[in-house]
Structure 1
């Protein structure tokens, strides 16, 4: 166990270094640096002013030298200033992270709970009527584009019925306002997210229910609910844990398409705006945070799988 954790920590450190350099290089190679954008917005700046600003911000140095300077500052806890939002990068990121967690945390939990329950229900009688309905819903959720479902919900609940706002953050910080503005994006993400859980749970449960120990448990007179929940589900949980780990990793990377459609100021929309606006510091910090959480979720999934199945320890 300790060897696994140590190896994964080394892999995580190497991955973060490589990912941060790749992201820094790709953003740095985008046409138009912040100085070019500043000149475009203020024609009074001359070419000499642009050269002085590039020297001041280190943009006249080689890419590798600039990356090393940024990495040293990041290790010291200095992540720079956001050009787009005129605030420290970590403050901009913190506000977007709160909004993404408010949207994605309940959505992820609801998707997992509903999807796993539907998968178990479908696996009880494969190729039956209930299984066919759940399969159809799951296939529709997997195949349906998120922006299309989001637009349909906006048309129905915001335009036709007028029950809910079409998008944007709540105008006042009250619970009812937050719930109203979160309703449509949460419904979109939950509908799409539960499909993967339902399909994965169904497949894993059908395989587990065909194992010899399940027949033994039934022969001993165990009730169907105990066979499903106490015998089959723990053995089918390993692939479900993998899906859940990847799903929870998106909590800090945001849902770009859904947040954009609903104008929700979360991590996905922030990352999109930062990359398009050449806001290096915010984009790099958001990418690094998403990578760290993804690696941590992957390690947590491995440890949970080892706890569920001791055979994997060999």
Structure 2
């Protein structure tokens, strides 16, 4: 069975449950899934009820699609995402992006928790992703090419949509909080980085580091979606000053930053076309 057939089957199963066509997709990262609870008139569909969908295994990831209304827009939110480090291939990780495209979305908002490598950042900052470094050692488009989805060699020169980056800056400014901008270095995980690895990534131009987002953005760019990425800087990952880190610490900072993050995303949704 072709990947395209599986995408269509998953989308058709969802369309039987929902009435409206979503225009915006949201992928909610560690500790940020609460935003999905604010979606009005929502239908929740557990991942294990959707044909061919992977299952989320990480603490802090609920594992369901939430479809409904937020700030006057029909959205489909992934409350819990999939990761390369869980043992999925990157093709499996990005399967939901293709399904959301099939459902009708034109814009994808991707969020994550990340370590800050830029000395000007601090834990609790939000960072708009302007570009990324794919340091995962893989790519979701490796393998048979599905021509119905996009070109064999997709252009990635503006994978993160410049207009959405500008809009996010304006909204942060109008709400009176500063926001960082920078390059997200995507790694495979599940280990946090060694000091030498962090220094290397910083020298390569990375401002933040995390274990998600890059495959999803590659897939979104491949199928022609507008993309905005936002990182919640949950800890400082400066190689020369590195201290031990746990997932619990990451979640705690993500939870503390949540109000600011939700304000930004809601502001964006109210302004984005769709």
Structure showing greater Rg = 1
- Is the helix fraction higher in 1 or 2? 1
What TM-score, normalized by structure 2, do the two folds share? 0.28
- Is the strand fraction higher in 1 or 2? 2
What TM-score, normalized by structure 1, do the two folds share? 0.25
